[in-house]
Chains A and B, each alone.
Chain A
Amino acid sequence: MPPVVEARALTKRFGSFTAVDAIDVEVARGESFGFLGPNGAGKTSAMRMIGAVSPVTEGHLRVLGQDPELHGADIRARLGVVSQEDALDQELTVAENLAIYGRYFDLPRSVIRERIDELLEFVQLSERRSSRVDPLSGGMKRRVVIARSLINDPEVVLLDEPTTGLDPQARHVLWDRLFRLKQRGITLLLTTHYMDEAEQLCDRLVVMDAGRIVAEGAPSALIATHATREVVELRLGPDADEQAAVTVLEGTGHRLEALPDRILVYADDGDALVREVHARGLDPMAVLIRRATLEDVFLRLTGRALVD
């Protein structure tokens, strides 16, 4: 069976602006694959080409073994798409929103009715079947969008920033549902600028910056390669001389990263490092020892934070 996505030197340009700059991506069936990067990194443009809604400017792209240029409608019939915007008709009921979308795939009405029952149960909104969309919470609307994306029983689901703007509890409910989809063997492709989301959901991901892929691998492998086990965050206080502190800290840990409000020191043993910091006569206002995350990987690779 062909891979779900096979992209070589895939490029998207808008006029003179290059949104996606010759990326290579391959996604296998059943895999959960992520595009991680800040806003404007080219994640959405890449997804839209894969979703066969945006023409490829240059390069090679096959989705489910087919060329989106020639077989766009066939590809789209086998995909589910969760876009950044809910795009739900607020005046219609939950079920009507799903039914209208189901008809776009030319599904028989009886099939649509059955699927709506199943899908609303899956996203835990059965009792809202006949409610208007308008009064639902943001998290519930997102779940309706997930249900809508599954109406055609897709092999692959594309999710563009699926939990942006949701509160933590709603995000966890959503992640749980997406994880179940993955367990059913559905291939998930998602973009996110949340490293916790990427760590939760992705088997493998690419880190994107300014249209290019700057790293690729499993979240844990990326952290192991590009960061240390632990990170010590030192907050010096508003009046402290950060430059002087960096000089004092020179040689502690594997690496230092001086941010505007704090200094990050990468080390395998955080406690030992904190003792060393104090031994050198530095007395930060606050000290936090934490595990390294994809955020640290991104910082290491690009010199910038993921979310600003």
Chain B
Amino acid sequence: MATPIALRVLEGHARAYRHTWRGTTIGAVVTPVLFLAAMGLGLGQLVDARDTGALGELSYLAWLTPGLLAASAMQAGAADGTFPVLAGTRWVKTYHTAVASPVRPRDLHLGNLLWAAIRVSVIGLVFVTVAAAFGAVPWQRGLLALGPAVLTGLAFCAALSAGVVLLRSDQFLAGLNRFVVVPLFLFSGTFFPVEQLPPAAGAVARVLPLWHGVELTRALALGTAPSLPWPVHLGVVLALLVGGIVAGARTFDRRLRP
């Protein structure tokens, strides 16, 4: 029986990864752990000492951990939706060679997304393990929270790659990180509740998909109810994922089969 084409693309990613994992994965694993140590343990002592009641009974570390998990998954997913796609279309142009074989543009999109699923899961798993060792989250709850976190990462990967595939220059890259990824990372209820933001900014944050992913992840990690009914949060994240997959099928085709 023929192997589904997206799985053949996935296999290609896995083969290439043997040579590239050091550069791409170590940073993705180490950075969130450093954040956890500095913010959760260091800053957390200050926050907990001046208990404002904003986090209820929780320690700052326990509150921060799921937010950091979801936001790091978003960052990893965003990276996987950007760099491999630009390599395929512009830097190495392997996508142009791939579509000369039976591989179709949408297989490249899906294959990349499947690969991101594996990579984001592994990165998240390492993070949860380290966090559990810090006592920041019970191990089993951390594993549960991995689900929505990975889903959030994939949604960003799908949506970004659908747009990035059309790029004709790299100028957009720095802006993407500065104006999209980093602000989302900081202000989506990761490091402090969006209620702390000015009302207008808070309203914006509540529309952004990362906040919904953070809410789901935090609810599972802490065993609490999310801010809105969970189907709403899940719906937003899934909408981004499905929208990215559907849009990508079109944009990949437009770029690679001109």
Q: Which residues of A contact B206 (CB under 8 A)?
A: none
Q: Total interface residues on B, using CB and 8 Å?
A: 26
Q: Which residues of B contact A99 (CB under 8 A)?
A: 15
Q: Which among B62-70, B95-103, B214-222 touches the partner chain? A: B95-103
Are A83 and B257 also in contact (CB < 8 A) when A89-B94, A90-B92, A92-B19 are? Answer: no
Q: How far is the CB of A177 from chain B (nearest CB, A)?
A: 19
Are A79 and B20 also in contact (CB < 8 A) when A99-B15, A104-B12 are? Answer: no
Report whether B93 and A87 are in contact in the complex, using a CB–CB cutoff of 8 Å.
Answer: yes
Does B104 have its Cβ within 8 Å of any Cβ on chain A?
yes
Q: Which residues of B contact A106 (CB under 8 A)?
A: 2-3, 5, 8, 102
Report whether A100 and B15 are in contact in the complex, using a CB–CB cutoff of 8 Å.
Answer: yes
Contact of A76 among B2, B3, B93, B102 (CB under 8 A): B102
Report whether A101 and B104 are in contact in the complex, using a CB–CB cutoff of 8 Å.
Answer: no
Report whether A55 and B92 are in contact in the complex, using a CB–CB cutoff of 8 Å.
Answer: no
1/0 per residue, CB under 8 A from A, across B156-197: the answer is 000000000000000000000000000000000000000000
Chain A: which residue is nearest B9 at the CB level? Answer: A104
CA distance A85 to B16 in the complex (A): 20
CA distance A14 to B254 in the complex (A): 12
Does A54 have its Cβ within 8 Å of any Cβ on chain B?
yes
Most-contacted residue by chain B among A51, A74, A81, A106 (CB, 10 A): A106
Chain A contact residues (Cβ within 8 angstroms of B): what range? 20 to 34
CA distance A306 to B66 in the complex (A): 64
CA distance A249 to B258 in the complex (A): 50
Contacting residues of chain A (35-56) with chain B, CB-CB under 8 angstroms: 48, 51, 53-55
Does A250 have its Cβ within 8 Å of any Cβ on chain B?
no
Q: Which residues of A contact B98 (CB under 8 A)?
A: 101, 104
Q: Which residues of B contact A89 (CB under 8 A)?
A: 16, 92, 94
1/0 per residue, CB under 8 A from B, across A48-78: the answer is 1001011100000000000000000110110
Contacting residues of chain B (4-30) with chain A, CB-CB under 8 angstroms: 5, 8-9, 11-12, 15-16, 19-20
Does B236 have its Cβ within 8 Å of any Cβ on chain A?
no
Does B256 have its Cβ within 8 Å of any Cβ on chain A?
yes
CA distance A96 to B13 in the complex (A): 11
CA distance A79 to B99 in the complex (A): 12
Chain A residues packing against B (C-beta within 8 Å): 14, 48, 51, 53-55, 73-74, 76-77, 79, 81, 83, 85, 87-92, 96, 99-101, 103-106, 148, 152
Chain B residues packing against A (C-beta within 8 Å): 2-3, 5, 8-9, 11-12, 15-16, 19-20, 92-94, 96-104, 256-258
